[in-house]
Amino acid sequence: MSDPAAHDRGAAGRPWDVWQLFFETSARLTTELETRLKEHGCSLMDYQVLLLLRNADHHRLRMGELAQRLVFSPSRLSYQIGVLEKRGWVRRRPCPEDRRGLEAELTDEGLAAFRRLRPAHARDVEELFLDVLEGDDAQRLHAIMERLARKVHPS
């Protein structure tokens, strides 16, 4: 691997410059989306939990799977679920299959909150991310992100 310090800043397309741009831009994008969601009383992580549960069968997921998909430690997930439980948006329940594990389940109030938040968040994602894609950018970016996902989390 080459030395990142050996690359000139500002030379477009050089691998380390691409990495730096990706790192800084994704952090800024995440921060801006977080700020905008907080105006509606929700954090980006709250929204992501609601989204994952909304899309899951029966609106519930095992805590371990949810932690894996969010890239959270078990303690961080437990805290996050606790925040959402206090709002009445999520509840923990024993897994019906084995009754040993726990799963998080979206409540009716959580589904209503998701439906209320979704239009504003969708507009923000469109404005800040999707609107800058041109031509086959989406397909190319999808292919790159899939390769990255397989590299950092092989199935």
Over residues 81-139, the pLDDT tens digits come to 999 999 999 999 998 877 778 999 999 999 999 999 999 999 999 999 999 999 999 99
- Lay out the sheet containing 102-106: strands in order across: 60-62, 102-106, 90-94
Instruction: Enumerate domains of the chain plus CATH numbers.
Output: 34-123 (1.10.10.10)
pLDDT for position 7: 46
Q: What is the pTM of this model?
A: 0.84
pLDDT for position 147: 94
The closest of 120, 42, 56, 124 to 84, measured between CA atoms, is 42
The Cα 138–Cα 134 span in angstroms is 8
pLDDT for position 96: 83
Across the chain, mean pLDDT equals 91
